[in-house]
A and B are shown apart, each in its own frame.
Chain A
């Protein structure tokens, strides 16, 4: 039947003082009421259109009523569209949230701020058909979408003469050209000035830079190959890349193919910088993180992006003829890609690689101190990567410690417990983080003296790492005794824990995490105690 039911008419009749309305009357009135309502809405919509709006307001209904010479409905005037709320429990019943207001409150309240007066501002929506990228115009990505539509339209337009555009010279505005020159100059010669920092901020924020992206990507690719020996320039270039990647208004995907080789070069090049003292490690780390961020951001669009990248990296890593610096870069590159990349790519090759690395690490076998330092760098990077992976694994199963099923350890090891105190674990986490970072970047490099400051539960690692002999022992896998001893000490230190409280639930979880147990054991084989710094201290204490 009609939208307005008879009952509604009866209710309205009662509200205007007609207690009993004959059923026939309400039945006859209902359709007419609906018709009148529709009529009013039709007029109201006309008023809305002429007020150039697409949302109906109470004012429109009032105007429509006035048009029909009906008294308007008072009390609903509002500049905004009414806000309806859905009635709880009903699918399509709405009401206006009309709360009661205390008069006193209104009177006592300070005067509201006067609304701002209407103003007119002018800007260029387009200059000769091209939208300038200014804040008043919508950002570029909104613009790039319709161009595709346009292309489709072009195809559809048969009958019409389609003008074929000859390849045109890409015209850059004067301002953009100057901007580009300035940035290039800063990058090449003054990358340590504060101005360069400002420039980077501008690169990462400005909305009108899109036309320059091809020039930048060419510039970067070009300069990276040319100035491999100039570390500051390389660093500056990578920072430019970083800023460009951050800029939300730039559509950089089409240029990634040009930028990726340069970035990878900065990770795995044999030599970066011309002096031995140049800290090219930092550049490699920086670029590795950059590449990883690209993978995270665009990996879903270009599914083979990461595959190609890892191929390059693993290739560099597994080639024994490559320099240690290249190995280092590869390890950092992979480890920046995340725990799963480490687990799948690094860990399976770890043992073989360590055999290769071992001779380089030892004072007796590698006389060249430079080479040895490099080897320690690689070692540190590997340790860090493996630790990261392990840490991720353990974080996945926060509550449990893994049983080591490795035969060598099984005899004297038992397991772990749940750390019921989450907060504690997280603070531990943060506690363990800085030293490991530090370790990765410089601790192992500067051999003897760096260990001392690392305190607390970490000392085992820090103290032992610089000691090549100790490490050698651990890596050879004959460490059972040593571990037991260390474990005993730790247990003594944190004796308040109760390893025996292993519930059946936990036991279940172990099974799932036996992988992690294996992992730890094998990592332990390779790295010795060094790896323990990646496990949260309370847990490690029980692990041992």
Chain B
């Protein structure tokens, strides 16, 4: 009697607290106790029967597929975690064969959403593998979080209760946390978002993404100073004109304030010079084009930045003045550098900021640099020579210098996976599978430093936007920050669960972003070395990253050809887009951030309209998770040349490289 009362109280408590499943389990337990010992025996017998997983799952699946259309997609979400845990339970109990057949029987249901995970899980054949494989371990350790609406949740509970599906109930209880929301079921389009999240990594991400990100641009940059000069001259007109645009005004005011501080540092002489030059006919044009960038807030650099030499600054200013304005109607010109006769050995390529230098990293450990300015000139004089590039190259090497038309850098002892020019083109970094990074001087044509720190192949290396610092990404699951003058890394960013495949600096040099084989993109604070953002959403390894010039957005491309745009401050995906049919090797924003260019293994360069989609986002900013697709402006197919690298010059000319691959 007392027991019963106690039970009732417990039940009431559970009910009040909303522990439905526990409550259910309790009831179940009681039912079981009250039933005859016969069923008890049968139950215990079935306990070890591997077929019970199969039956249970099969029933649950049939039920879910036959459920109400409106709630079906929500209920189907439950199947995936149940499926993989059934499988892993079977493996853990040693029923390898049953696990196999179970896996193959139901695999195709989840193929669409989770094919890559399934490929990995398929390899699990013994309990030992469960321990060893990261994916399996994290799946076992963490819980799935599934969003359901109230009614589907009730449906599920009813079903589990009615059919006495104990095995399923156990798994669901143990492995899934339900987030029950009142009202209508969520949209089908959110599916990806809801299911791809795995357990605590989501929690972690949430927690991490609470931190503050100062995504603004560095104050007192050359561009800003130029802006300021312009705004000074325009100020009198602008004040009256822009009265309606409150946002703009604020931004400008703050900008003016800051730039006046900046002006002090910059030195009056320099400033005056620029002002004189800039205030010309082009002035207004430039202003309107750069408005997106100028609206961004400014932040102080956390690193001590190197000073830019005066003549470099001059050339930058020159470029800024000649910048072509790009938007969805005015598309860029694309200059394509095709590598010929690479024999499948070109691993990476990169272009210097002004497009005059092109570097290729090869799997025979060599790094080759072409000076396109030199190649271009003789080619121009004998342009009628024909389109056959190779013969032209040969010809050049024979006539002009009597040797090869490129500079060969030798030093690595393994395939070179990445190469990058410093912002002013005088240094070159290359990273290789021999786990080293080498610094070369393009002026001296010699190796200057060999940075040893990584223990495994270094997949990617990138100079910071101001030079001097650089970041590397490696198979050893870390990303590291270096400065050119130290052979030890300054920071080690650890946290990714698999290889770090690509790295990219934020425009203000305070953050780096890394893309990884664990399908996440992370943002790290350079100063503290902490992970401050985690972007979850890709379904395969992330291959390329790009930061928008205003520092607010980031684009990432993956192995499947998906390109996603992220808002750094909220950590949310702004616009997913299925952009390409194959790996996205490279992404680049145009200088004022209106366009995004993507280059892919499917032999196309595509141009996307960023400005209008982000504008739309600002309008309905409150509507969370609205999926604005980026608009495709133009697809430029190449002649069977996968696009390896893209770069917008400061004048907004788009450079692209690729290796001609015939026959495949």
A-side residues, CB < 8 A to B, are: 1-2, 31-32, 34-35, 38-39, 42, 46-47, 49-55, 57, 59, 63, 66-67, 79-81, 115-131, 134-138, 142-143, 146, 149-150, 153, 156-157, 159-161, 163, 165
Contact A126 B582 (CB under 8 A): no
By Cβ-Cβ distance, the 10 closest A-B pairs, closest first, are: A129-B331, A119-B393, A31-B125, A121-B389, A38-B123, A125-B336, A125-B334, A116-B341, A126-B334, A51-B347
Q: Is B488 engaged at the interface, CB distance under 8 Å to the other chain?
A: no
Contact A127 B333 (CB under 8 A): yes
Contact A121 B340 (CB under 8 A): yes
Q: Is B562 engaged at the interface, CB distance under 8 Å to the other chain?
A: no
CB distance from A303 to the nearest CB of B (A): 31
Provide the residues of chain A in CB contact with B582, threshold 8 Å.
Answer: 54
* Residues A35 and B636 in contact in the complex (CB < 8 Å), given A46-B475, A120-B375: no
Contact A46 B337 (CB under 8 A): no
Contact B636 A131 (CB under 8 A): yes
Contact B393 A59 (CB under 8 A): no
CB distance from A168 to the nearest CB of B (A): 10
* Residues A52 and B346 in contact in the complex (CB < 8 Å), given A128-B331, A129-B332, A163-B328: yes
Provide the residues of chain B in CB contact with A153, threshold 8 Å.
Answer: 631-632
Contact B605 A163 (CB under 8 A): no
Sampled A-B contacts (24; CB under 8 Å): A1-B96, A1-B100, A35-B123, A35-B129, A38-B120, A39-B123, A46-B499, A47-B457, A49-B583, A50-B347, A51-B415, A79-B345, A116-B394, A117-B393, A120-B358, A122-B372, A125-B656, A126-B331, A128-B330, A128-B332, A129-B607, A136-B639, A157-B631, A161-B616
| Neighbour of B637 across the interface among A80, A143, A156, A160, CB < 8 A | A143
| Neighbour of A42 across the interface among B120, B333, B601, CB < 8 A | B120
Q: Is B392 engaged at the interface, CB distance under 8 Å to the other chain?
A: yes
**A38, A42, A67, A125 pick with most chain B CB within 10 angstroms:** A125
Q: Write the chain B residue with the least CB distance to A81.
A: B664
CB distance from B464 to the nearest CB of A (A): 22
| Neighbour of A119 across the interface among B333, B389, B628, CB < 8 A | B389
Q: Write the chain A residue with the least CB distance to B368.
A: A118
CB distance from B6 to the nearest CB of A (A): 49
Provide the residues of chain A in CB contact with B508, threshold 8 Å.
Answer: none
Q: Is B363 engaged at the interface, CB distance under 8 Å to the other chain?
A: yes
* Residues A123 and B347 in contact in the complex (CB < 8 Å), given A31-B96, A160-B631: no
- A83 to B11, alpha carbons, bound, how many Å? 68
Q: Is B430 engaged at the interface, CB distance under 8 Å to the other chain?
A: no
- A138 to B125, alpha carbons, bound, how many Å? 48
- A54 to B582, alpha carbons, bound, how many Å? 9
* Residues A160 and B612 in contact in the complex (CB < 8 Å), given A2-B125, A63-B433, A137-B638: yes
Q: Write the chain A residue with the least CB distance to B633.
A: A129
- A125 to B597, alpha carbons, bound, how many Å? 13
* Residues A122 and B335 in contact in the complex (CB < 8 Å), given A129-B634, A157-B629: yes
* Residues A138 and B639 in contact in the complex (CB < 8 Å), given A119-B390, A129-B331: yes
Provide the residues of chain B in CB contact with A161, threshold 8 Å.
Answer: 612, 615-616
CB distance from A131 to the nearest CB of B (A): 6
| Neighbour of A124 across the interface among B335, B344, B360, CB < 8 A | B335
Q: Is B593 engaged at the interface, CB distance under 8 Å to the other chain?
A: no
* Residues A126 and B333 in contact in the complex (CB < 8 Å), given A34-B125, A35-B124, A51-B363: yes
Q: Is B501 engaged at the interface, CB distance under 8 Å to the other chain?
A: yes
Interface string of B470-498 (1 = CB under 8 A from A): 00000100000000000000000000000
- A63 to B583, alpha carbons, bound, how many Å? 21
CB distance from B417 to the nearest CB of A (A): 5
Contact B333 A118 (CB under 8 A): no
Provide the residues of chain A in CB contact with B124, threshold 8 Å.
Answer: 35
- A31 to B404, alpha carbons, bound, how many Å? 52
Q: Write the chain B residue with the least CB distance to A142.
A: B637
Q: Is B186 engaged at the interface, CB distance under 8 Å to the other chain?
A: no
Contact A53 B389 (CB under 8 A): no
Q: Is B370 engaged at the interface, CB distance under 8 Å to the other chain?
A: yes
- A32 to B125, alpha carbons, bound, how many Å? 7
Q: Is B387 engaged at the interface, CB distance under 8 Å to the other chain?
A: yes
* Residues A118 and B340 in contact in the complex (CB < 8 Å), given A52-B346, A55-B664, A125-B335: yes
B613-641: which have CB < 8 Å to A? 613, 615-616, 626, 628-629, 631-639
* Residues A54 and B341 in contact in the complex (CB < 8 Å), given A1-B97, A67-B457, A159-B616: no
Provide the residues of chain A in CB contact with B657, threshold 8 Å.
Answer: 120
Interface string of B342-378 (1 = CB under 8 A from A): 1111111000000000101011000010101001100
- A159 to B612, alpha carbons, bound, how many Å? 10
* Further contacts, 19 of them, CB under 8 A, given A52-B585, A118-B341, A128-B332: A31-B96, A31-B125, A46-B475, A52-B347, A54-B582, A63-B415, A79-B343, A118-B342, A120-B370, A123-B335, A123-B336, A125-B335, A125-B605, A129-B633, A131-B636, A150-B632, A160-B631, A161-B616, A165-B329
Contact B629 A52 (CB under 8 A): no
| Neighbour of B517 across the interface among A46, A116, A120, A128, CB < 8 A | A46
Contact A138 B632 (CB under 8 A): no
- A204 to B337, alpha carbons, bound, how many Å? 29
Q: Write the chain B residue with the least CB distance to A39.
A: B123
Contact B417 A79 (CB under 8 A): no
- A128 to B612, alpha carbons, bound, how many Å? 19
Q: Is B447 engaged at the interface, CB distance under 8 Å to the other chain?
A: no
* Residues A52 and B348 in contact in the complex (CB < 8 Å), given A31-B96, A163-B328: yes
- A119 to B657, alpha carbons, bound, how many Å? 12
Provide the residues of chain A in CB contact with B392, threshold 8 Å.
Answer: 119, 121
Contact A50 B637 (CB under 8 A): no
Q: Is B291 engaged at the interface, CB distance under 8 Å to the other chain?
A: no
- A423 to B432, alpha carbons, bound, how many Å? 68
Contact B360 A118 (CB under 8 A): yes
- A35 to B456, alpha carbons, bound, how many Å? 22
| Neighbour of A125 across the interface among B615, B629, B636, CB < 8 A | B636
- A234 to B326, alpha carbons, bound, how many Å? 47
| Neighbour of A118 across the interface among B122, B346, B626, CB < 8 A | B346
Q: Write the chain A residue with the least CB distance to B632.
A: A153
- A138 to B417, alpha carbons, bound, how many Å? 29
* Residues A146 and B331 in contact in the complex (CB < 8 Å), given A51-B347, A51-B417, A121-B393: no
Contact A124 B559 (CB under 8 A): no
Q: Is B642 engaged at the interface, CB distance under 8 Å to the other chain?
A: yes
**A51, A81, A138 pick with most chain B CB within 10 angstroms:** A51
Q: Is B547 engaged at the interface, CB distance under 8 Å to the other chain?
A: no
B417-448: which have CB < 8 Å to A? 417, 433
Q: Is B459 engaged at the interface, CB distance under 8 Å to the other chain?
A: yes
- A122 to B333, alpha carbons, bound, how many Å? 13
Provide the residues of chain A in CB contact with B397, threshold 8 Å.
Answer: 117
- A112 to B437, alpha carbons, bound, how many Å? 36
* Residues A120 and B501 in contact in the complex (CB < 8 Å), given A50-B459, A129-B607: no
CB distance from B145 to the nearest CB of A (A): 27
Provide the residues of chain B in CB contact with A34, threshold 8 Å.
Answer: 123, 125
- A129 to B324, alpha carbons, bound, how many Å? 13
- A115 to B344, alpha carbons, bound, how many Å? 13
* Residues A126 and B636 in contact in the complex (CB < 8 Å), given A35-B124, A160-B612: yes
- A120 to B129, alpha carbons, bound, how many Å? 47
B368-415: which have CB < 8 Å to A? 368, 370, 372, 375-376, 387, 389-390, 392-394, 397, 404-406, 415
Q: Write the chain A residue with the least CB distance to B664.
A: A55
- A293 to B341, alpha carbons, bound, how many Å? 41
Q: Write the chain B residue with the least CB distance to A30.
A: B125
Contact B417 A50 (CB under 8 A): yes
**A32, A50, A130 pick with most chain B CB within 10 angstroms:** A50
* Residues A119 and B664 in contact in the complex (CB < 8 Å), given A32-B125, A79-B345: no
- A134 to B336, alpha carbons, bound, how many Å? 13
Q: Is B126 engaged at the interface, CB distance under 8 Å to the other chain?
A: yes
- A310 to B559, alpha carbons, bound, how many Å? 55
Contact A52 B636 (CB under 8 A): no
Interface string of B87-118 (1 = CB under 8 A from A): 00000000011001000000000000000000
Provide the residues of chain A in CB contact with B53, threshold 8 Å.
Answer: none
